[in-house]
Amino acid sequence: MNRFEYIRPRSVAEAVAAAAIPGSAYLAAGTNLLDLMKIGVARPGRLIDLNHLPGLDAIETLPGGAVRIGAQVRNAELAHDPEFARRFPAVAEALLSGASAQLRNAATVGGNLMQRTRCAWFQDTASACNRREPGTGCDALGGENRMHAVLGWSEHCIATHPSDFCVPLVALDAVVEIEGAGGRRDIPLADFHLLPGTTPERESVLAPGELVIAVRLPAEAAGFAAHARYAKLRERTSYAFAVVSAAAGLRIANGRIVEARLALGGVAAKPWRAEAAEASLAGAAPDADAFRRAAEIAMAEAKPSGDNAFKIELARRIAIRALTQAAAGTPDRLPALPASSFASNAGAPNMGGLHV
């Protein structure tokens, strides 16, 4: 880990001012940043500690029913907030399917949005990586890339965004509140992360020094609570990133889908909202044909970026699974293994014995 100067601001304004100096990075829990500093991938000269700032750790219901989640709210605290979990069950399920209990107790909302890719070449400073060092090339292109993107990638970078939390958030029209030297602005989460194009080093719309202060979900997002699920496929039962994942929300009346939401994880450099697929579901009966069609539409533009053509069919299947489970209704209590195909009451056969 490189040496750095440690700065503990006392207000958001002080933090933003401190971060204006080049080489600064915000420190939330540090579960991603310290990890990357230990392996030399992140080398900030100054750490601006967000952990003692007032006003960033509340979960508030706003007049009208929107919810505002402070950037320093811990992942576990949000997932276990009874009111939040009742109104936004797919978000709680996604949070609880991520990382481990220890990490979720520490990890923050802001840090989860801003976490970096898990691309192995990005994490290896001896490899060429345009995202880490612009212009050096991309060793993932001809290398071990079965986990890489199938949507929205470019020949400059094929990495994925690893967050589970962001997937239902983007499906539910979440908005990111940002504070910077120039004041405060709101950005829809759908526009927050950037696809690589020719500048993969630009991962989000945040300008240097800008701070995420909160994430908001609109009141309408709670309208999907009765039919909302997150489904995640992993290479082991728990404590693993998604190979592919999907968040689905349905509003159903008189046996028809009134409105659908669908987003995919593990497929692109951003949480992937599937709007055309959503549109195809409006007015349809919530059945296998409609879900299959929606999944086809969601993945219509997908292209393998290497040894990962299998992810395209896997992503279709996880989308169908999430939609099918959502149609069946949100369970009163989350399954023992949130978002897992192996959970006893996830709508799959009981495979509980597999991971004894």
Partner 1 sequence: MSMSVTLTVNRVPHTVQLDDPRVTLLDLLRERLDLTGTKKGCDRGQCGACTILLDGRRVNSCLALAISHDGAEIQTIEGLAEGGALHPVQAAFIAHDAFQCGFCTPGQIMSAIGLIDEGQAGEDPERVREGMSGNLCRCGAYRGITEAVIEATRSMAEDAQEKAA
The residue number whose beta carbon is nearest to ligand FAD equals: 111
What part of residues 222-261 is at the interface with partner 1 (CB under 8 A)? Answer: 237-239
Instruction: Decide: is 169 part of the binding site for ligand SF4 (CB under 6 A).
Output: no
The partner in contact with residue 108, picked from ligand FAD, partner 1, ligand SF4, none with C-beta cut-offs of 5 to 8 angstroms by kind, is ligand FAD
CB nearer to ligand FAD: give 230 or 291: 230
Question: Strand 24-27 and strand 46-49: pairing?
Answer: parallel
Widest Cα–Cα separation across the chain:
62
Q: Using CB under 6 A as the criterion, what x/- string covers residues 127-166 for binding ligand FAD?
A: -----------------------------------xxxx-
Among 80, 202, 293, 317, binds partner 1 (CB under 8 A): 80
Among 12, 16, 18, 33, binds ligand FAD (CB under 6 A): 33
Among 91, 107, 159, 174, binds ligand SF4 (CB under 6 A): 159
CB nearer to partner 1: give 126 or 253: 126
Instruction: Decide: is 211 part of the binding site for ligand FAD (CB under 6 A).
Output: yes
The partner in contact with residue 163, picked from ligand FAD, partner 1, ligand SF4, none with C-beta cut-offs of 5 to 8 angstroms by kind, is ligand FAD
Binding site for ligand SF4 (CB under 6 A): 117, 119, 121-122, 129-132, 138-140, 157-159, 200
